[in-house]
Amino acid sequence: MANHASSPSTESFRLSESTFLKVRNILAVIAVIGWVALVAGYFVDHHRFAHSYFLNSMFATTFAVGALFFVMLQHISGATWSVVVRRIAESLMMMLPVAALLFIPNLLGMHSLYEWTHNEVVANDALLLKKAGYLNEPFFIARTVLYFSVWVFLAFKLWGWSTKQDTDRDFAYTEKSRRLSAFGLLALLATFGMAAMDWVMTLAPHWFSTMFGVYMYAGCALSFTATMILICLRFRSNGILSEAITEEHYHDLGKWLFAFNTFWAYCAFSQYMLIWYGNLTEETIFFRHRFQGSWEPVSHLLIIGHFFVPFGILVARWAKRNLAVLGVLAAWLLVMHYVDVYWLIMGSLYIDGIQPHWMDIAGLLAMVGSFGLTFWIRLAKQNLVPVGDLRFERSLHFHQV
């Protein structure tokens, strides 16, 4: 497969048939193994299936939300450096329709996840009775449909304009994308913040935090950036886009990784500090459960492994330009993000301590395979880069100032 940094032809940025089939088959095998194991797990233990499935569907959804955020932010800012990597982000963004479809089992399994869906529990709990106007199944489902409808609409419009621009090079599509993104970014911030509180925070319905939505949003941006870096590096190792995505682009991706990890830590500390300072029982219970028993080392791992170690390395310029180091840190932070999502979700469902289960792995394989297939098939149908964007040539020759 040829990749040329100057005046590339459209065919220069297409996946070869052999590469497409090889990766597609690997992802299909991963998905089949995961889904077969998950289906078997459903008949073994319905309750645990609901927990493991929800954990991994939420983990996978964060990548797609983070990608949508990245694409809209690039359109708003008019950034040049990111044009060559934007199609990869757009393909990740287009996992959102699959995320919506795969979220349906979570709605069907609500009674295994949320105590506020049990009438007898609500009837004997004064606080849940006060929240019943908001925390009820019909309204919860309606809000979930609204969230995904907004995200899928934004993703399809931006994807459609970007791919059409490949053929006609009409600058009007860039302007349309910028205007939609200005509104869409606000809509995404609002809807995902509400979704995070609806889906994850209400697993422990007596607890609340005004920082929670922003905290999870930071995780979405971080997980996407880490995934983007790993995909680009994997392409590079196979001679794909090796001249188009240069050390300069990786440097900027490293900056994004550093920035979002620092922002995640800021949100985490701010949430903890406000709750510690307020010292209210209904707020401190969240951290009390996670700093006792087998949850305590997980909490310490997040503090050290999610923030201090990556921060100490990524703060240096050389680390963001050393592709081997950048790749290791991206992979490490992806693992830390999974630990973080696990800590948030399972910490509310199993307050006495960690209860790992083989269905957690099965769910991860099913989601990685399914979302990966969606991304790969979508990407293979188009150019790997937005060749019709009028900033494309400048992006190819981008250099740090």
Task: Express each pLDDT in 306-335 by its tens digit.
Answer: 999 999 999 999 999 999 999 999 999 999
Residues 161, 176 contacting (CB under 8 angstroms): yes
What's the confidence (pLDDT) of residue 370? 98
The dihedral of CA 149, 152, 157, 160: what is its sign? Answer: negative
pTM: 0.95
User: Tens of pLDDT along 53-77?
Assistant: 999 999 999 999 999 999 999 999 9
Residues 92, 375 contacting (CB under 8 angstroms): yes
Residue 385 tokens read as 């880069």
What's the confidence (pLDDT) of residue 399? 87
CA distances to 225, 271, 283 from 85, in Å: 11, 33, 41
Residues 174, 72 contacting (CB under 8 angstroms): no
At residue 11 the predicted structure's pLDDT band, cuts being 50, 70 and 90, is very low
The dihedral of CA 195, 200, 205, 211: what is its sign? Answer: negative
Residues 203, 345 contacting (CB under 8 angstroms): yes
What's the confidence (pLDDT) of residue 365? 98
Residues 75, 181 contacting (CB under 8 angstroms): yes
User: Tens of pLDDT along 170-213?
Assistant: 999 999 999 999 999 999 999 999 999 999 999 999 998 999 99
At residue 12 the predicted structure's pLDDT band, cuts being 50, 70 and 90, is low
CB within 8 Å of 28: residues ≥ 6 apart: 369, 373
